[in-house]
Structure 1
Amino acid sequence: MANELNELTDAANPAGRDVHVIEKQLPVQIGFGSVLFEIALWVLGILPGLIFLFMKVGARNYFRKLQQKLQTDASQIDNYLEQRVRILQNVTPLVERAIDLDKDVMKAVAAYRGGGHPDDAARNAVSGQLDRTFGRLFPQVEAYPELKAHAAIADAMRQNSYLQKEITAARSLYNDTINMWNSDIYDWPTKMIVAARAGYTTRIPFAASAEVKEQARSIFF
């Protein structure tokens, strides 16, 4: 039997294709067949009905634990983002005293000092704002070798690089848990029935901003 998808003979797209995360949550829905299935279990006897009832209790507890894991994974990302904010707050005054910083950088830092975040408090938006701010700050530092040699600034640049890697790893873990949730809520019969009755929906994974995607396509060297 031939392969349904053949990379040697089937049509391909030479231009490639960009992908995007769809910003949409899908509710879990069950039909009459699921209701009939539950009724049939009780008709067959009290034991099958009770067994399935306990299975549903277990599924409900599983989803509650999974939601707590999602919270933990998201909190880890927030912790790393907070550390990046502190680095930005600490290093900017040092740089500001030596060079005339971009006004946009100073506005962003002022917003963080005030305890808020510009425009949107959503996690993705905060992360994107930090990336843009650091992206404007460090190139200005690079232009001044004597400033780059400053111990505190050099340490801040190393810490920022480390935190970027940790944030990437934390986002991957978060997305793995999101994928687990999105798969399990459609696991029929037990989990899907419980998810539908609880009003659960799919969850949206982390998505890179359009600006970050554009930077990734640019020429680095």
Structure 2
Amino acid sequence: MVNELDEVTGPTRHDGRDVNVIDKQIPATIGAGTRVFEAGIWVGGVVLAACVALAAQADLAVVSLAMLVGLVPGLVFQLMKTNAGVYLRQLEQKVQADASQIDNYLEQRVQILQNLAQLVTRSVELDKQVMTSIAAYRAGLPGAGAQDLNDKAAQLDTGFGRINVAFEAYPELRSHANIAEAMRQNAYLQKEVTAARTLYNDTVATWNRDIFAWPTKVIVASNRGYTTRIPFTASLETKAAARDRFFGV
């Protein structure tokens, strides 16, 4: 069979292409076929058992017993749906816990930024906008959604960037032990935020996959109105800075 993606003779795209996350939640739904399948497990098991008993010319008591046995597949399927529901509930809680962990790291970065700005201000006249922005950063963190937290993290990066400008203008600040420790803590927390975002995105990917898993999970997800979740993404400013500063694009 001919290779449809022939990288030798096929057209190539030399200018590249940027990848973006679609900001859309897709609901988990089931069609008529799945509903027929679910009903068929109950009805089919009973009818099949009754037919077998009648074909064997069994008495009414045996036929009744066979019909009860025929309910077993439906009961097993119901148990599977219950287990699927418990699993999705637990996964939902994990998504929330992972998002909360990002929130905690960002909160710590806000505190470090606040302390660092105060330390630097004692030595040089720091841009007053940095100090007035810190309160807004801190107030906006609790209860923020995924995209809001993403925006707050970008704002924090901007705040630390302004302090770095002060470092460039006043190199002697780097020798200040408390300032150096605060910057070290910030660098550590930046890595923790990145790791926490990766963990969150992995959990979201699992959620987005499992709510469409047929048959039990998608049935439960559809009945409960579950939708896909949107992962964390880098802001447009962050992408532009990465290209301009690191890759020279």
C-alpha contact 1:77 1:167 (8 A) present in aligned 2: yes
> Unaligned stretches of 5+ in structure 2?
46-70
For 2:174, the equivalent position in structure 1 comes to 148
Residue 196 in structure 1 maps to residue 196 in structure 2: no
CA distance in 2: counterparts of 1:42 and 1:48, whole angstroms = 7
Shift of 1:26: 0.7
Shift of 1:58: 0.5
Shift of 1:54: 0.5
Residue 166 in structure 1 maps to residue 192 in structure 2: yes
Letter in 2 for 1:95: V
For 2:57, the equivalent position in structure 1 comes to none
Residue 185 in structure 1 maps to residue 211 in structure 2: yes
Residue 102 in structure 1 maps to residue 123 in structure 2: no
Q: Bigger shift: 95-104 or 179-188?
A: 95-104
Structure with more contact order per residue of length (Cα contacts < 8 Å, sep ≥ 6)? 1
Query: Out of 51, 65, 85, which is 2:90 matched to?
Result: 65
Shift of 1:142: 2.8
For 1:56, the equivalent position in structure 2 comes to 81
> Unaligned stretches of 5+ in structure 1?
none
Number of equivalences: 218
Alignment of 1:108-147 (within 5 A): 108-112=133-137, 115-117=138-140, 121=144, 122-147=148-173
Letter in 1 for 2:25: Q
Shift of 1:68: 1.0
Q: TM-score, normalised by structure 1?
A: 0.93
The sequence identity of aligned pairs, in percent, is 58
Q: CA RMSD in A?
A: 1.7
For 1:28, the equivalent position in structure 2 comes to 28
C-alpha contact 1:142 1:148 (8 A) present in aligned 2: no
Alignment of 1:37-56 (within 5 A): 37-45=37-45, 46-56=71-81
For 1:7, the equivalent position in structure 2 comes to 7
- Flag as ranges the 4+ runs of structure 1 deviating above 4 A: none
Bigger helix share? 2
Specify the structure having the higher radius of gyration (Cα): 2
Shift of 1:8: 2.4
Q: Secondary structure at the match of 1:183?
A: helix
Q: TM-score, normalised by structure 2?
A: 0.83
Letter in 1 for 2:32: F
